[in-house]
């Protein structure tokens, strides 16, 4: 009896140690995951933006690195957009006008999500209707795709009845304000007024 009790005690000890080990392991894992999700929240803003290599309205290659030291006001859209895009480019232009001389420290950038139709001459003509300092960027489909991915922008051809070259694009309609270091500062929804946009930019100059 005494022998079997001892054996039983030993089994309890072994089981206890294994259970304790599993719990400690689980705890460490939960702690790590918790830390990861905290990091994710703290650096969530860093998820928007990143390097791009595109071509401007004069056919000149441009990268995001050229704009370090300026704030970038970035909008993704397309020149055939019937409503939201022109309104947004106008809001950006009006916000820059409202900033006066300070606007020199802000680079407005239009990036097409429709490189098939938006060639350099097409985007050049388009942005000429808005603020004179606009840089319009296009590129190969894969260059544009990479820029969209960096900014977490969604863009896709909408199904069209006629087919062919007469299509609309569904796309994210946010305006992104990026810092002098190229990092994300804030974004504006289409409901933002030029005054609100100017104010938010001025706070970060």
87 binds Ni ion (CB under 5 A): no
Which residue number, 103 or 175, has a Cβ lying nearer to Ni ion? 175
Tokens encoding 173:
């309609």
Region of 5-13, 74-82, 93-101, 140-148 interacting with Ni ion (CB under 5 A): 74-82
Q: How far is the CB of 173 from Ni ion (least distance, A)?
A: 6
Is residue 81 a contact point for Ni ion (CB under 5 A)?
yes
Cβ 75 vs Cβ 111: under 8 Å = yes
**Cβ-based nearer residue to Ni ion, 85 or 95:** 85
Q: How far is it, in rounded angstroms, from Cα 205 to Cα 200?
A: 9
Count the neighbouring beta carbons within 10 Å of the beta carbon of residue 156: 9
Q: Return the residue nearest Ni ion (CB atom).
A: 81
Q: What is the DSSP string of 36-68?
A: HHHHHHHTGGGGS----EEEETTS-EEEGGGGT
The b-or-e profile of 21-30 (16+ CB within 10 A means b, else e) is eeeeeeeeee
- How big is the site for Ni ion, counted in residues (CB under 5 A)? 4
CA 205 to chain centre: 20
Q: Which of 8, 9, 23, 84 binds Ni ion (CB under 5 A)?
A: 84
Among 48, 54, 85, 178, binds Ni ion (CB under 5 A): 85
Using the rule CB under 5 A, give the single segment among 5-13, 18-26, 71-79, 185-193 that binds Ni ion: 71-79
Q: Which stretch in 66-74, 80-88, 123-131, 186-194 sits in contact with Ni ion by CB under 5 A?
A: 80-88
Verify binding: residue 19, Ni ion, rule CB under 5 A.
no
Instruction: Measure the CA angle with vertex 183, ends 178 and 185; round to 5°.
Output: 50
82 secondary structure, DSSP code: S
| Closest CB 20 distance from Ni ion, rounded Å | 59
Interaction between residue 77 and Ni ion (CB under 5 A): yes
Q: How far apart are CA 108 and CA 113, in angstroms?
A: 16
Nearer to Ni ion, 4 or 189 (CB): 189
If binding is defined by CB under 5 A, does position 111 make contact with Ni ion?
no
Using CB under 5 A, list all residues that contact Ni ion.
77, 81, 84-85
């Amino acid at each position: 009896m005494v022998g079997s009790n001892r054996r039983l005690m030993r089994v309890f000890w072994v089981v206890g140690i294994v259970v304790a080990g599993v719990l400690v392991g689980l705890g460490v894992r939960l702690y790590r995951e918790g830390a990861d999700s905290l990091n994710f929240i703290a650096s969530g803003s860093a998820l928007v933006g990143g390097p791009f290599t595109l071509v401007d309205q004069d056919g000149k290659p441009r990268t995001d690195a050229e704009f370090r030291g300026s704030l970038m006001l970035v909008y993704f859209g397309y020149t055939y957009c019937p409503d939201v895009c022109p309104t947004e480019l106008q809001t950006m232009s009006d916000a820059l006008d409202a900033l006066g001389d300070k606007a020199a420290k802000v680079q407005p950038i239009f990036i097409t999500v429709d490189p098939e139709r938006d060639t350099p001459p097409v985007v050049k003509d388009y942005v000429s209707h808005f603020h004179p300092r606009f840089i319009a960027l296009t590129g190969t489909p894969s260059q544009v795709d990479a820029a969209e991915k960096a900014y977490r922008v969604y863009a896709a051809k909408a199904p069209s009845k006629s087919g062919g070259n007469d299509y609309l694009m569904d796309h994210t309609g946010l305006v992104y304000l990026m810092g002098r270091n190229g990092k994300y500062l804030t974004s504006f929804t289409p409901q933002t007024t030029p005054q609100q946009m100017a104010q938010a930019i001025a706070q970060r100059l």
